[in-house]
Amino acid sequence: MKPSPRSSALAGAVLWVILALPPVRHVLESELTPQVLVQIPLLALAGALLARLFSRRLDTVMRLWNDGGIPGLLLASVAGMTWMLPRLMDASINEEGYALAKFLTVPLLVGVPVALSWPKSGFVTRGVLLLEVVATAFRMGWLYLVSPERLCSNYLLGDQQRLGKLLVAIGVVIALVLAWQLIWGRVRVESPQ
């Protein structure tokens, strides 16, 4: 059964608050891998869940500028790319202003636009985005693996390289799932909403 928009939004808000709790923050930010692979995706998920509450209201407002979901997904991509920069990830630990920016922009500028734009987007837009996600995982993984020095001054080189391996592995898994789905799976190609 699909949860109601209200309960989804509640779950999103709770998740947001939990992620902001100091002990949770401490655990997730103590190493680079959980910050990149757990904290930031969960913050985006919190935003996506919240978006369900006001998706209908926002939908009317945004119909004019979010044609085919492309502007929304572009916004999410740009915001997401910003939080891939090691310098910003470092700053979000050292300075409260950057931490606040992370906790606001990832849910609101990544999670919300993706949740609002994904249903509007067509097969081609989704395909380009998903392939870009796979390519970015490979590129970032490669970068973390070959960088001779620590990219974040708060984290160790070993942690950075572990993240690199995981990102490459994630890229491989997503690519295989996509390939399997397209070649043998059931794919519904519908006109965007």
Partner 1 sequence: MASLTLYPAEERLEGGSRVTFDLYMITAVTLFVVMMLIGLTMRMTQATWLNVNPALFYRLLSMHGAGMVGTASIATTAVMWFFLRKYVGLHLWAFVANYVLFMLGALCVIVSIFFGGYGALWTFLYPLPVHGMGLWSNNASALFLVGYLLIGVGSLVFYLDAAAAIIKVYGNLGRGLGLQWLFGGEINPDHPKAVVASSMVIIANSLGILAGSVVLVMNLVNIYYPQITLNALFAKNLTYWFGHMYINATIYMGVMAVYELLPRYTGRPYPISRPFIWSWAASCLFVIVVYPHHLMIDFAQPRWLTIMGQVVSWSAGFPVFCVTAYGAMTNIHRSGIRWTMPSRLMALSMFGWAAGIVPAILDGTVRNNLVMHNTQWVPGHFHFYLLLGVLSMVLALIYHVLGNRANAVPNSGLDRTGFFVYLIGGLIFTLAFLSAGHQSVARRMATHLPEWTLTDKVGSVGATLVVLGMLYYAIRIIVGLLGRPVVIDTSHAHPADTAG
The site for partner 1, by CB under 8 A, has a size of 27
What are the structure tokens assigned to 104, written together?
Answer: 């606001």
Please report how close the Cβ of residue 81 comes to partner 1 at its closest, in angstroms.
12
Residue 134 interacts with partner 1 (CB under 8 A)?
A: yes
Among 21, 95, 187, 193, binds partner 1 (CB under 8 A): 187
CB atoms within 10 A of CB 48: 21
* Pick from 14, 13, 119, 145: nearest CA to 62: 119
User: Closer to partner 1 at the Cβ: 99 or 170?
Assistant: 170
Residue 157 interacts with partner 1 (CB under 8 A)?
A: no
Question: Which residue stretches of the chain are H helix?
Answer: 5-20, 22-29, 32-34, 40-62, 70-82, 86-94, 96-105, 112-117, 123-146, 157-183
Please report how close the Cβ of residue 186 comes to partner 1 at its closest, in angstroms.
7
Amino acid identity for residue 69 in this structure: G
Among 158, 177, 185, 193, binds partner 1 (CB under 8 A): 185
With H, G, I as helix, E, B as strand and everything else as coil, classify residue 25: helix
Residue 147 interacts with partner 1 (CB under 8 A)?
A: yes
Contact positions vs partner 1 (CB under 8 A): 122-124, 127-128, 131-132, 134-135, 138-139, 142-143, 146-149, 175, 179, 181-187, 189
